Structure 1
């Protein structure tokens, strides 16, 4: 299986964000905005650590019938949020993908 990677970038508002991509290039999840690069780097480390803990994932139905998952840290803060999936099974598969890809994923800075 191809390894995933974290992409660390700066958004249009000047905040640092990261996204986790699967080996096939699909985005699995994305972070909130951070004021500093070190804050975003700490967020990546938190995702790597918490991805192994199944209870930290929440799968839920959002507006418009789309399904999502969140990964929370020990303090219950959301550290990674998914895109919308058409089914609960899709969101659950996305969460499993985070469990499989995040712990060993490399970090790459992108423009």
Structure 2
């Protein structure tokens, strides 16, 4: 079992992204691309602030594909679920992990 953490990485398109991995090593949320690393770090800080608030989660329901977005105070999407879940219960379990583990999770910068 690993510790939950955020990871910053740089994609082939040159943009910076973050992902949040739960204690079981599974990626739960991923970000949009950022041009600069400081903006990516700000995105992580925003996740940490907003993660505990249930009203910040936008849930989408399609048959066998339940997803979520985490939004900031201004309504902008900060991160999205890394996958679609086959049941609402599984999606809610993933949201609970983000709520509990993300606010205090360390960040690992994989770009250095």
Tell me whether 1:73 sits opposite 2:72 in the alignment: yes
Q: 2-side partners of 1:3 and 1:70: how far apart?
A: 23
Residue 34 of structure 1 aligns with which residue?
34
Q: 5+ residue gaps in structure 1?
A: none
TM-score after normalising by structure 2: 0.92
Deviation beyond 2 Å, 4+ runs, structure 1: none
Q: Contact 1:59–1:92 (CA<8 Å) still a contact in 2?
A: no
Q: TM-score, normalised by structure 1?
A: 0.92
Q: CA RMSD in A?
A: 1.5
Q: Deviation at 1:3?
A: 3.5
Q: How does 1:1-111 map to 2 (within 5 A)?
A: 3-62=3-62, 65-82=64-81, 83-110=83-110
Question: C-alpha distance in 2, partners of 1:40/1:94?
Answer: 22
Give 5+ residue unaligned stretches, structure 2.
none
